[in-house]
Amino acid sequence: MEPAKTEEPQKVIFSAIQPSGTITLGNYLGALKNWISLQDEYDCIYALADLHTITVRQDPAAFRRHTLEAYALLLACGIDPKKSLFFIQSHVPTHAQLAWVLDCYTQFGELQRMTQFKDKSAKHPDNINAGLFTYPPLMAADILLYQTDLVPVGVDQKQHLELTRNIAERFNGIYGPTFKLPDAYIPKNGAKIMSLQDPTKKMSKSDENANASIAVLDKPEDIMRKFRRAVTDSEACVRYAEGKDGVNNLMGIYSCVTGKTNAQTEAEFAGKGYGDFKAAVGEAVAEHLRPIRERYADYIRNRDYLEQCWGEGARKAYAISIRTLRKVMKKIGFVPPKPM
Ligand code: TYM
């Protein structure tokens, strides 16, 4: 008799992005592109991390609009609600509940060491709120609620992922196996897209210089202009080398959108100047993003469909995450509530 087939359970992917304004080429190449490609092979759960966004003061109307736009844009990028769960974090109350619990298993010193906390407090000295400080345990809650295996993120989130593992290990150490320990899933190419104006800094949504970052929804002519103005160096030779941060960044972006290796790019532009190279990168990026912009225009007009998707996403996310939360509460010793 043949042995019964034991099906391996699918690995769980979780990731999230803040709806804090413009979604950039950095977000797309560092994280979103992987989110899309993982959908066929894994159980994928994705969220708009809107609770994280209020650690920086938001104008209510703009915040609401950015959240709607981000939801439509991620669908346009290729998140398929038939394959993946895709919800808005504030719609699923288990996230804030587990975050409080994890706050109590995270040390002050650990949070003080987070580089993002240090950077953001330096940037907003008039609003160093407690939420900015306890942001990492909320992110840990997002991930741990779903017994996540892999978290596709850019390299700037690596430290938060390491802390998530530490918190989970600490909790498991006290109460026995409760949380799965997640791994970061960081792309080889595109993990850190740099600013076009200062290639020693990462490309960021909040950069004041509009030429420093490309938005996924930028018009082709704006994309071309920003790449034409990208800061490079005086060598005028397209090659990947230490100290050539601007050119290295452009080569990385070119590779992400065309699939070409650096050697192929060097050969393609041998004997040509930066003008030709920058135009080619701009064109390749604009072409890559064009279908996303077109699909976005349809999604953003269809509010009913968006609501249906995020309603369904939140309902399913709640059903999964409440199981972990109940287990956690029981292990700590909370008296179980009666159903409300
Ligand atoms: P956020 O919204 O800042 O960024 C979303 C994703 O984009 C990546 N990213 C980049 N990748 C490459 N180059 C860049 N210049 C670049 N800029 C941003 C980020 O690494 C991230 O993957 N705290 C998170 C959101 C979050 C989350 C989570 C992520 C909340 N809960 C749970 C994973 C799991 C954040 O602020 O990402």
- What digits encode the pLDDT tens for the residues 218-275? 999 999 999 999 999 999 999 999 999 999 999 999 999 999 999 999 999 999 999 9
Single pTM value for the model = 0.95
Q: Per-residue pLDDT averaged across 16-33, rounded? A: 96
CB-ligand 1 contact for 51 (6 Å cutoff):
no
Q: What is the mean pLDDT of the chain?
A: 96
> DSSP of 8-23, one letter per residue?
PPPPEEEEEE--SSPP
**How many Cα neighbours within 13 Å face the side chain of 91?**
18
- What digits encode the pLDDT tens for the residues 157-204? 999 999 999 999 999 999 999 999 999 999 988 999 999 999 999 999
Distance CA(184)–CA(162), nearest Å, equals 8
For residue 6, the model assigns a pLDDT of 58
Q: Please give the domain boundaries of the chain with CATH numbers for all domains.
A: 12-191+303-332 (3.40.50.620), 220-298 (1.10.240.10)
Distance 327 CA to ligand 1 centre (A): 28
Distance 26 CA to ligand 1 centre (A): 9
Ligand 1 mutation target, pool 114, 156, 159, 194, most atoms within 8 A of CB = 156
Question: Per the residue annotation, which of 202, 226, 244, 278 is the catalytic one?
Answer: 202
Helix axes 245-258, 274-301, angle to 10 degrees: 50
Tokens matching residue 146: 């779903």
Distance CA(99)–CA(108), nearest Å, equals 15
Q: Is 202 a catalytic residue?
A: yes
Residue 3 has pLDDT above 60, yes or no: no
- Exposed / middle / buried, residue 5 (Cβ in 10 Å: 0-12, 13-18, 19+): exposed
For residue 334, the model assigns a pLDDT of 98
Distance CA(209)–CA(340), nearest Å, equals 50
Residue 88 has pLDDT above 70, yes or no: yes
Distance CA(26)–CA(138), nearest Å, equals 23
Give the whole-number percent of the chain exceeding pLDDT 90: 93
Ligand 1 mutation target, pool 12, 17, 165, most atoms within 8 A of CB = 17
The residue whose CA is least distant from atom 9 of ligand 1 is 27
Distance 203 CA to ligand 1 centre (A): 12
List the beta bridge partners of residue 46: 15, 86
